[in-house]
Structure 1
Amino acid sequence: MGRLAIIGGSGFASMPELEIIEEQHAQTPWGAPSAPLMKGRLGGAEVLFLPRHGQGHSLPPHRVNYRANIQALHDAGADLIVGLGAVGGITPSYGPLTICVPQHIIDYTHGREASFHGDSGTEVVHVDFSWPYDAGLRQALLQAAGATSISVVDGGTYAVTQGPRLETAAEIRRLERDGCDIVGMTAMPEAVLARELGIRYATLAFVVNWAAGKSDSEIGMDEIVANIAHCGEDVMRLLATVAASPPAIS
């Protein structure tokens, strides 16, 4: 079985359900990760945990050191990563409080360090990224949903925007024309960096608001915070189930 790491997003800067065994202050060639790595037990299974935005949610999406985060988890022995993501819903099947396991990504970010290769003096490496999410880990999340009777949408396309501002209604209309179902700010370059290091990666996304222009009201942080809390228990049950029986590493 593989060693599972969880990257916590908005609303998951900590995991009270995690029994912490050890705190690791990692250093990498790319600098320090967002926060110390937490080694602990979730539902009796050993996992690694890293809050993407730092302790206290102090790092906006475009300032996260994604390379240091993924390298630190790799060095700590992670074979599998589930990245949590609070997202906006674009298409009708992805309304607020929907939990989903997306299958595709369209990357609209810019200026982020998106590879471990290609810096001065290093070899350029091109990884196949046709299918950005690992099929086995996606299936494990979906099977966990079935085992826990939690409703989860299988599939969809995640639009990754730069942030930290939310999108305009016109931008969301463009994303929908491009075929996107949900919109967030953190799946890239996280997913491709994991691919470069041979770590199997999937996103577990939870919809916390309709995207801009998809409802009659403005997007409010009170709504987002409340919906994150509403999804939290189901997200933790899914993670604990996957941690107890992660997919095998071939």
Structure 2
Amino acid sequence: MDYALIGGTGLEHFSLTEQSVVSVETPYGEVKAVIGKLAGQELVFMSRHGQNHAVPPHLVNYRGIIWALGELGVRKILATAAVGSLSADYRLGDLVLIDQFLDFTKNRPQTFYDGGQQGVLHIDLTEPYCRDAQKVIIKAAKNLGLVVKNRACYVCTEGPRFETPAEIRMFRILGADVVGMTSVPEVVLARELGMCYATLGMVTNEAAGIADHPLSHAEVMKSMKELEIRVAQLIQATFELLTPDQKCLCASANAEVGKF
């Protein structure tokens, strides 16, 4: 299978046809994936948080998920993520493509290469998210008449708590546009295994100090419910346009270690 969809908050039950569940043994534990078809394409669906949103962001088995996708032959990953807005340019209900990230996670392994026999890989992240994959998403959005905002900077926090207003002020000064809890290390690990990776962000709330009310997960889920039809349409249209070839640099990112 060339393609994968990683569903974040609100996409724990994404519907595919001809579904089956497979288990993949990885060095990081057993990972279950759903195999199915969407838009005539066979793909792998991974629910990042599991059914019923049971796994918090700081405990997601990021290495296991990405390794399992590599074992299944995946070349291109479309990931979804609920994000909070830090800027008036990104409003509730907007769809955004993540272009850069700021990493404020604390306790997450971020590499498959821990030294010793595994070696060490200093991955280049000049363009963390695959520009070629992003172009396909933009084209799919235009075909549907949807607006997708591009070039957003995502700040990734450890979670599961929401951020303080002081933290949000700091992130804004540093240039962040949206905030979330999952894109790192997922995007890094995908690049280490030579996969194209793009994140579709869904603005589901305003961050602390910007919103005029306390933040809650219920608010995020309510916003996701209102976005789900557009998101599902865009995901399907994107997979209709994707091709398995990789003309970008993603596939050769780990060439210096020569293991994949």
- TM-score by length of structure 2 reads 0.91
Which residue of the other structure, out of 60, 63, 72, is the alignment partner of 2:59? 63
Report the alpha carbon displacement of residue 56 of structure 1 after superposing the two structures with TM. 2.2
1:117-128 counterparts in 2 under 5 A? 117-128=113-124
- 1:238 aligns with 234
1:184-203 counterparts in 2 under 5 A? 184-203=180-199
Report the alpha carbon displacement of residue 120 of structure 1 after superposing the two structures with TM. 4.7
1:160-175 counterparts in 2 under 5 A? 160-175=156-171
- 1:249 aligns with 246
Q: Which runs of 5+ in 1 are unaligned?
A: none
CA root-mean-square deviation:
1.3
- Supply the distance in 2 between the matched residues of 1:32 and 1:186 (Cα, whole angstroms): 20
- Supply the distance in 2 between the matched residues of 1:216 and 1:22 (Cα, whole angstroms): 44
- 1:8 aligns with 7
1:68-83 counterparts in 2 under 5 A? 68-83=64-79
In structure 2, relative to structure 1, the CA distance for the partners of 1:221 and 1:21 (3 Å cut) is: closer
Report the AA paired with residue 110 of structure 2: A
Q: Helix, strand or coil for the counterpart of 1:5?
A: strand
- Supply the distance in 2 between the matched residues of 1:58 and 1:137 (Cα, whole angstroms): 30
CA contact (8 A) 2:156 2:180 kept: yes
Aligned-pair identity (%): 35
- TM-score by length of structure 1 reads 0.95
CA contact (8 A) 2:140 2:241 kept: no
Q: Which runs of 5+ in 2 are unaligned?
A: 248-260
Report the AA paired with residue 104 of structure 1: Q
Report the alpha carbon displacement of residue 44 of structure 1 after superposing the two structures with TM. 2.3
CA contact (8 A) 1:47 1:243 kept: no
| CA deviation vs aligned residue, 1:205-249 (integer Å, no higher than 9, x gap) | 101000001121112333211110111111111111111120432
